[in-house]
Structure formats: structure tokens, C-alpha cells
Amino acid sequence: MLERFLEVLPEIGAAMGQTLTMLLVAIPLAVLLGTPLGVLLYTIGPNGLKHKPRLHRVLDGLVNLIRSFPFLILLIAIIPVTRFIVGTTIGTAAVIVPLTLNAIPYFARFVEQNLSQLGGGVVEAARSMGASRSQIVRDVLIVEAKPGLVSSITIMTVSFISYSAMAGLVGGGGIGDFAIRYGYYRYETPLMITAIILMILLVTAVQLSGSYLARRLDKRL
């Protein structure tokens, strides 16, 4: 038993590395691209700073469209796009494309929701001080939404640890794929349990540090 465990240990390490790679690329990209999209959705929305009903409907629909795809389907459906962007359709890099594509609208919704929960008071105060729309977004809305946004990033990361388990379908690897291959296909239950424990530890670590950071940033008390 121990022998077998030591045998696959390098593979477990590699799988963890692949999972972390997927997350470390997809999540920051989603935050980077999803934040402006979410800000835009809020800004041109019915209660935003500059309501643009038509553009809002289009963007809102597009976000819903991408979010409608079950991740497994999206993974396959966008294979041509994946090939165009990373030059391959298999491996960890190939999974990162659909992960990111899925995460962008996912996070944009979080941003939109966090901003719309802030209430109009601070925006009104900023307008009375002669703030421009971009100043209101940067210096007021994002500042006030920061703790909420950190919580949202935490929730998203945990969700995407789960999504990354489907990476095996296109040879993307990762710890979830490891669990499926050894536990499901080879009936090596102890190895599957090991992988599951690692995933639990990963999720716990993400959640604890996310909650801690959000608490630190939140001055509402």
C-alpha cells in the first residue's frame, strides 16, 4: 500500500501543480477581464450611472449565454477557439481557455451584484463633489465593494477547483482528473481518497485565506 503510494507520489505532485496552474492563470485573468465587464454591466444597467438599455440587453444576454453552458459542454464546444488561442486542444493550457472564458462572465456577475448592493448614498455624495463617472467607479464603488469582491473571488476559486476536475476530458490533468483516473477507472480507492483529501485541503486553504482577507478589508464592523 505504502509502496504504491510512493510510486504515484510524483504523479500526485504533478497533478496538484496542474490544478494550481489552471487556477493561477484562469482566476487572475477572470478578475482582470471580468471586473471591467461587471462594472460596465452595472454602469449601463437600470440603476447605473449611465443607463444604456440596448447595450445592456446585449451584454446581459451575452453573459447569460456563456453562463448557460455546462462547463463540460463549453470545454468541447469552444475547441476551435482554444486551438486558435493556445495552438493546441489538449493539455493543461487547453483547459485554461474554457476555464477563463467561463470565469469572466461568472466574475462579472459578482462585480455587478457587489456594486449594485452599495446603495446610492456614496454615489450621490461623490457626484455632489464633482466626481466624474470613472472617478466614481475607481475611488468610490470599487473601494466600497472591495471586501465583497474578495469574497466573490474566493467563491469563484472554490467553484473552479471543482470545474478543473473535468480537465481530464482533454488531457488537462489536475488533481480531480487524478482522482477520476485512479479511483473510478482503476478502483484504487485509497488513491482516490488521497486526491479528495488534497482537494478538501485546497478548498479549505482558499476559503480560510479569502475569508480572512475579506474581514481585514471590511471596515464596516
Binding site for other proteins (CB under 8 A): 121-122, 124-132, 135, 139-140, 143-144, 146-147, 217-221
Residue with cell 471586473: 35
Q: Compare residues 99 and 126 and give the one whose CB is closer to other proteins.
A: 126
Query: Which CB atom, from 102 or from 151, has the smaller least distance to other proteins?
Result: 151
* Residue whose C-alpha cell reads 487556477 in the numeric block: 23
Which residue, 139 or 188, is less far from other proteins as judged by CB? 139
Instruction: Say how far apart CA 148 and CA 106 lie, in whole Å.
Output: 15
**Of residues 93 and 217, the one with the C-beta less far from other proteins:** 217
Side-chain-side CA neighbours of residue 96 (13 Å)? 20
Report how far apart, in Å, the C-alpha atoms of 82 and of each of 30, 90, 126 are.
16, 9, 43
* CB neighbour burial string for 156-166, b if at least 16 within 10 angstroms, e if fewer: bbeebbebbbb
CB of 111 to other proteins, least distance (A): 16
Q: Rounded to the nearest whole angstrom, what is the least distance from the CB of residue 213 to other proteins in the complex?
A: 13
State the CB neighbour count (10 A cutoff) for residue 50.
Answer: 9
- Letter for the amino acid at 87? G
The strand ranges marked E within 91-188 are none
Quick one: 50 or 54, whose CB is closer to other proteins?
50
196 by DSSP, 3-state: which? helix
What is the C-alpha separation between 64 and 71, in angstroms, rounded? 14
- Residue identified by cell 465593494 is 145
Question: SS3 for 57?
Answer: helix
- Using the minimum distance from each CB to other proteins, give the nearer residue, 7 or 218: 218
